[in-house]
Amino acid sequence: MTATEVALLGIRHHGPGSARAVAAALARWRPDAVLIEGPPEADDIVHLAAGKDLVPPVALLAHAVDDPAKAAFWPYAEFSPEWVAIRHAVEHDLPVRFIDLPAGYGLAPGTATEEEGEEEPDEPVADPLALLAEAAGHDDPERWWEDVVEHRAPGTDPLAPFAAVAEAMGALRAEGLGESRRDRLREAYMRRRIRAARRAGYGRIAVVCGAFHVPALERMPTDAHDRALLAGLPKKVRTDITWVPWTHRRLSRVTGYGAGVPSPGWYHHLFTTDGDPVPRWLTRAAELLRAEDHPVSSAHVIEAVRLAETLAALRGRPLAGLTETLDAARAVLCEGSDVALELVRDRLVIGDRLGEVPDAAPAVPLRRDLTRWQRSLRLKPEAAPKDVDLDLRKENDAARSRLLHRLRLLGVDWGVPARSSVNSTGTFRESWRLCWQPEFAVRIAEAAQWGTTVEEAAANKAVGTARAAEELAELTGLVETCLLAGLSGALPAVMRVLADCAALDTDVAHLAGALPALVRALRYGDVRGTDHGALAEAASGLAERICVGLPPACVGLDAQGAAAMRVRLDEVHGAIGLLAGAAAGPAGPVAGSEPGSEGSDVPDDSDDSDGLADRWAAALRSLARREPAGGPATGAPGLLRGRAVRLLLDDGRLGSEDAGRRLRLVLSVANSPADAAGWVEGFLAGGGALLLHDPRLLALLDEWLTGVSDEAFTDVLPLLRRTFAGLEAGVRSTIGGRVAAGPLAEAPASRASVGELDRARADAAVPVLALLLGVRPTIPRQAAGRDT
């Protein structure tokens, strides 16, 4: 019987030089079986690599059947040696088997997995490349590996480079460097799989594995020895495995993938380019920069190539590597700009290439339903971020919106809301930023427990989330999401939980936090044609309870509580305005009190929308009057009282005269400076243009500020800084100019109505006023100049 030959091809994962060496070795050595480091569960789906519709970068995804959140990935790029070996085997109709420790052991309870869920195929305790580079006198292991492997063309003996790498790794392993218990378990399992291939009768077996494992596979102990090592493994869990799309960005180390490479886009270029890769790569960089409006010409490319080659020669390198190429690109193409160079790094050194997986690949029904919707709605998953504007009046765009909201509910944030590129505030328009991430495959598998279709899974997830919710705001936000996602089937169950929770919750802050989302849901219901009777009833009930409970709830709040309540106050004010407007219908806006009238706290209930608006205005008036007569604990903070006055003023329910009177009272010496500063902050929040339109208010503020004692000024300075920092830049500049120009009390209330000051006529009245006041008249300098 002819002895079995075994060729151990030790590689670096995702290394283009290793991939070329593997391709050359397999082509010349012609094995009759190929064994690859990877999960044996994938043996049944490796044949899919023979088709043209499995396009790298892709990954094997294994997850526990009973707990899909426990998952691991084995990514492969076009330049990955394992992928080259797989393609060689399927193209030549050779048996191909994975020989690493099964994924079912790694996903067993109590077994540590990576945070990102990716399996590190070869990540020992110490970095063997760093040790070898140090032994060779190099301080940069990546550059050393590039020089000795990645830039090396296959020679006449295809197995020679693998023998050299194996010898180097053997020296490291002999010193006990880099080994771990997990490595020993994996290598024991690999040896058992090699023995099984020998027993199957294969004469020439090629084993493609991490170079670190080669010394352990060269020395074959007894099978009993390996069985004893594996006896301590935990019980293997049931797993499902499939192919999923991957991206170059997720192959890079910057994403936390320990076995990744720093420059997958560059490595792809090295592997797929015949001849000198530098000129073509710099040409691509020039095209990218030109597309971003950088002035780059062909002459720039020629000079950059020359510079990269010169730098390589000066640094003693056989060829220009990525370091020299980027240095040349920065100096010539980017004209020294690190910003432009970062664009090149992001797009070309790393890249956003996204793989493709055939329909024949195993998938949960939820994943297949999502694929159907993606094709039907013409939403192709892409790794590069893409902004999409949706017009909800169009059927296809409305369906896209529902799909994206349903996926967000399931934890698949393929799309996230973005700022619209179209200047529109209507509720019929949405803007999204789409970016497909490989890990969504795990989340889809995890979400499959909720249903077999996207709609069913999202609806069941919404009901389950509602039943587990502990806060009212979470429930109202969920109601809003259900409407956005078109989950009419889940809405009744969510609304029942909301009604029960709202009836038991007496915290006004919780009610205030919940109302805005509910009112937004009413608006979305309008544009989506949703029946919102139950929503309107729930929103009105919350609003009524807020109107009653808000003033006493604001009493005695500390600075942090007052700041949080001020945000709630603004949100509720806007929500009640929308709610009252919706109740009024198309007949017109809500009718209010006459400007300047204080009115009664008892509203006129002749119209429901008027009644709600009036009751809210009464609540604001009550809040504005809750001054801390007996200390801070006996009244509402100045921040909230001032904000209530401003909201009443903006709504026309309080006149400027009365607002000025309130400001004058607050800024009197009877009030503490800190309370007055808080009142001013609340009053001016959201815009200080009213100080320009009514100079009397500015004069009052200036008079108070100049009269604050030195000790109190130090205490109120942070509040004042925060207040005026929040004003528009133009408003701050104009206020500063008016304060510097002279006494603010003389500023005209309205130039349009009063006109320009006639100084000559004003000066003529000075002697009479001086006689009436019993003072000596002072002739202004300008008048004196005119008299002389």
- Average the pLDDT over each of 535-549, 567-581, 769-783 and give the range with the smallest value: 769-783
Q: Angle at the Cα of 85 (from 81 to 91), degrees rounded to 5? A: 140
> What pLDDT is recorded for position 583?
57
pLDDT band at 420, cuts 50/70/90? low
Distance CA(317)–CA(664), nearest Å, equals 78
- Average the pLDDT over each of 393-402, 420-429, 486-495, 587-596 and give the range with the smallest value: 587-596
* Chain-centroid distance, C-alpha 227: 47
pLDDT band at 728, cuts 50/70/90? confident
Q: Is the pLDDT of residue 13 over 80?
A: yes
Distance CA(364)–CA(785), nearest Å, equals 93
Mean pLDDT of 598-616: 58
Distance CA(12)–CA(749), nearest Å, equals 79
Q: Is the pLDDT of residue 483 over 90?
A: no
> What pLDDT is recorded for position 755?
52
Q: Angle at the Cα of 286 (from 282 to 288), degrees rounded to 5? A: 115
Comparing CA positions, the residue from 694, 679, 688, 690 lying closest to residue 732 is: 688
> What pLDDT is recorded for position 749?
42
> What pLDDT is recorded for position 199?
94
Say which DSSP state 55 is in.
B
User: Higher pLDDT residue, 137 or 498?
Assistant: 498
Structure tokens at 101: 């420790």
Q: Is the pLDDT of residue 375 over 80?
A: yes
User: Higher pLDDT residue, 601 or 310?
Assistant: 310
SS3 298: helix
User: Higher pLDDT residue, 749 or 583?
Assistant: 583
Mean pLDDT of 358-378: 92
Comparing CA positions, the residue from 114, 60, 103 lying closest to residue 83 is: 60
pLDDT band at 133, cuts 50/70/90? confident
- Average the pLDDT over each of 203-212, 263-272, 531-540, 638-647 and give the range with the smallest value: 531-540
Comparing CA positions, the residue from 259, 442, 356 lying closest to residue 56 is: 356
Comparing CA positions, the residue from 381, 368, 374 lying closest to residue 396 is: 374
Mean of all residue pLDDT scores within the chain: 83
Mean pLDDT of 622-649: 83
DSSP one-letter string for 639-703? HHHHHHHHHHHHTTSS-HHHHHHHHHHHTSTTS-HHHHHHHHHHHHTT--THHHH-HHHHHHHHH
> What pLDDT is recorded for position 421?
60
- Average the pLDDT over each of 156-165, 203-212, 661-670 and give the range with the smallest value: 661-670
CA dihedral 706, 712, 713, 716 (to 10 degrees): -120
Comparing CA positions, the residue from 700, 686, 602 lying closest to residue 650 is: 686
pTM of the predicted structure, to 2 decimals? 0.69
Outline where 81-180 has alpha helix (H). Answer: 81-91, 103-106, 128-135, 141-145, 160-174
Q: Is the dihedral of CA 209, 211, 214, 216 positive or negative?
A: negative
Give yes or no for a contact between 475 and 469, defined as CB atoms under 8 angstroms apart. Answer: yes
pLDDT band at 111, cuts 50/70/90? low
User: Higher pLDDT residue, 100 or 768?
Assistant: 100
> What pLDDT is recorded for position 193?
96
H or E segment and range at residue 210: strand 204-210
How would you classify the pairing of strands 33-36 and 96-98? Answer: parallel
Say which DSSP state 247 is in.
B
> Which region, left, alpha or beta, applies to residue 31 given φ > 0 means left and ψ of -120 to 50 means alpha?
beta
Q: Is the pLDDT of residue 478 over 60?
A: yes
Burial of 716 (0-12, 13-18, 19+ CB in 10 A): buried
> What pLDDT is recorded for position 153?
65
Give 102's contacts (C-beta < 8 A, 6+ positions apart). Answer: 39, 40, 41, 189, 236, 239
Mean pLDDT of 265-293: 94
pLDDT band at 654, cuts 50/70/90? confident
User: Higher pLDDT residue, 659 or 310?
Assistant: 310
What does the pLDDT look like over 696-710, one tens digit per residue?
777 777 777 777 777
Q: Is the pLDDT of residue 274 over 90?
A: no
- Strands (E) located in 252-355: none
> What pLDDT is recorded for position 121?
43
pLDDT band at 118, cuts 50/70/90? very low
> What pLDDT is recorded for position 531?
54
Say which DSSP state 531 is in.
-
Q: Is the pLDDT of residue 600 over 60?
A: no
pLDDT band at 679, cuts 50/70/90? confident
Mean pLDDT of 702-728: 78
pLDDT band at 778, cuts 50/70/90? low
Q: Is the pLDDT of residue 493 over 70?
A: yes
End-to-end Cα separation, the chain, in angstroms: 131
> What pLDDT is recorded for position 149?
72
Distance CA(558)–CA(484), nearest Å, equals 37
Distance CA(722)–CA(737), nearest Å, equals 20
Comparing CA positions, the residue from 662, 732, 652 lying closest to residue 691 is: 732
Q: Is the dihedral of CA 261, 263, 269, 270 positive or negative?
A: negative
pLDDT band at 476, cuts 50/70/90? confident
pLDDT band at 595, cuts 50/70/90? very low
pLDDT band at 605, cuts 50/70/90? very low
Distance CA(82)–CA(210), nearest Å, equals 10
How would you classify the pairing of strands 204-210 and 239-245? Answer: unpaired
Alpha carbon separation from 786 to 759, 766, 781 (Å, rounded): 11, 15, 9
Q: Is the pLDDT of residue 610 over 60?
A: yes
pLDDT band at 408, cuts 50/70/90? very high
> What pLDDT is recorded for position 750?
40
- What's at 689, amino acid-wise? A
Task: Tell whether omega for the bond before 57 is within 30 degrees of 0, i.e. cis.
Answer: yes
**Cβ-count burial 98-114 (b if 16+ within 10 Å, e if not):** bbbbbbbbbbbeeeeee
- Average the pLDDT over each of 445-454, 475-484, 764-773 and give the range with the smallest value: 764-773
CA dihedral 220, 221, 224, 228 (to 10 degrees): -100
How would you classify the pairing of strands 386-391 and 96-98? Answer: unpaired
Distance CA(382)–CA(372), nearest Å, equals 16
- Strands (E) located in 37-100: 58-64, 71-76, 96-98
Mean pLDDT of 411-427: 76
